[in-house]
């Protein structure tokens, strides 16, 4: 596919991943705080001293400095190194799993956005518009260069008069891809909007942020409608399991504390306390949506095919 050896191109993707991961750390810290991601240069949040170029090498600097600021020795969160390394691995995976360079680059754009949104949501419970809106635009734009899977071909059969020219077929292919991207965005946003409306009607409060909705519009533009549904279903399951596990562990802890005092009444009290604690916890659902979107990008088609085979298709 190219004149350069595979390992060299792979290494280039990896290095670009490190650099973009480093920039992503800046975005994760600054975007939810409404700060510019361009200026000023990075500084230690504790002693405010500028971070020199030699201390700003992805992963390596963090390891060499033992995860501490060079000047004030305050610990620096391992998140910096984790994001950089994960971004590099994802970029490499995009290269290895793509047939065409344009597909690999599109994958890198999506991975960059999803990784940033995952950590921003985990740390601040926010999914900044500064990531989701450009992401949605990028997904729609890139759909005319790199094909988005979906049912557009089945829903939109176009009859040609006579044999279509290769050019006509090409145009048809990419218009369908664009349609798949638009349908994906509509499905992602639409399903979450419907859930939010139902929740509001039943519970009389807002249960879900519109950040999730914009996130799924973005994801839909990259993945198309079928894989977007896959993401919504699997993240609901994963989020449900996680929430259930957290609820149960809080319940267990409360039960141990209450049992000596309350005896038989401890169970009901613990259950009540666990539910209250859960509500205050506000599990960031965006983390699950982003993670399952990454799974869907790399393995979604295979997983959906495997699932359909289980049903006998
Ligand atoms: Zn410092």
Per-residue pLDDT reduced to its tens digit, 2-50:
678 899 999 999 999 999 999 999 999 999 898 998 888 888 888 989 8
State the distance from the centre of ligand 1 to the C-alpha of 10, rounded, in angstroms.
35
Residue 72 has pLDDT above 80, yes or no: yes
Q: Please report how the helices 79-97 and 285-310 are oriented relative to each other, as an axis angle in degrees rounded to 10.
A: 30
What is the maximum alpha-carbon separation in the chain? 85
How do residues 92-128 score in pLDDT, each as one tens digit?
Answer: 999 999 989 999 999 999 999 999 999 999 999 999 9
Domain-wise residue ranges, the chain: 1-97
How many angstroms separate the alpha carbon of residue 5 from the centre of ligand 1?
A: 42
Q: How confident is the model at residue 193 (pLDDT cuts 50, 70, 90)?
A: very high
CA distance 102 to 100: 5
Q: State the helix-helix crossing angle for 101-124 and 79-97, rounded to 10 degrees.
A: 150
Q: Residue 54 Cα, ligand 1 centroid: separation in angstroms? A: 15
Rounded Cα distance between 28 and 112, Å, is: 11
Whole-model pTM: value is 0.90
Tell me the CA–centroid distance for residue 32 and ligand 1, in Å: 22
Q: 49 C-alpha vs ligand 1 centroid, how far in Å?
A: 6
């Amino acid at each position: 596919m190219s004149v350069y050896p595979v390992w060299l191109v792979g290494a280039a993707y990896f290095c670009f991943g490190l650099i973009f991961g480093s920039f992503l750390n800046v975005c994760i810290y600054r975007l939810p705080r409404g700060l510019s991601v361009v200026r000023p240069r990075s500084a230690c949040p504790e002693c405010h001293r500028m971070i020199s170029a030699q201390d700003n090498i992805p992963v390596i600097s963090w390891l060499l400095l033992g995860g501490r600021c060079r000047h004030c020795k305050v610990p620096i969160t391992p998140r910096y190194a984790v994001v950089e390394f994960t971004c590099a691995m994802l970029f490499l995976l995009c290269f290895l799993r793509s047939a065409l360079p344009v597909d690999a680059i599109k994958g890198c754009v999506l991975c960059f956005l999803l990784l940033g949104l995952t950590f921003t949501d985990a740390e601040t419970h926010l999914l900044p518009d500064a990531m989701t809106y450009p992401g949605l635009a990028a997904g729609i734009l890139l759909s005319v260069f790199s094909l988005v899977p979906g049912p557009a071909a089945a829903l939109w059969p176009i009859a040609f008069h006579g044999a279509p020219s290769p050019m006509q077929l090409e145009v048809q292919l990419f218009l369908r891809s664009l349609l798949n991207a638009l349908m994906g965005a509509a499905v992602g946003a639409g399903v979450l909007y419907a859930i939010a409306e139902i929740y509001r009607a039943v519970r009389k409060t807002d249960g879900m942020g519109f950040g999730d909705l914009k996130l799924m519009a973005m994801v839909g533009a990259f993945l198309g409608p079928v894989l977007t549904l896959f993401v919504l279903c699997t993240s609901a399951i994963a989020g449900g399991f996680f929430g259930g596990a957290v609820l149960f562990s809080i319940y267990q802890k409360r039960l141990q504390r209450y049992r000596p005092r309350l005896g038989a009444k401890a169970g009901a009290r613990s259950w009540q306390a666990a539910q209250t604690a859960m509500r205050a916890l506000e599990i960031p659902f965006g983390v699950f949506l982003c993670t399952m979107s990454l799974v869907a990008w790399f393995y979604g088609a295979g997983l959906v095919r495997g699932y359909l085979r289980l049903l006998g298709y």
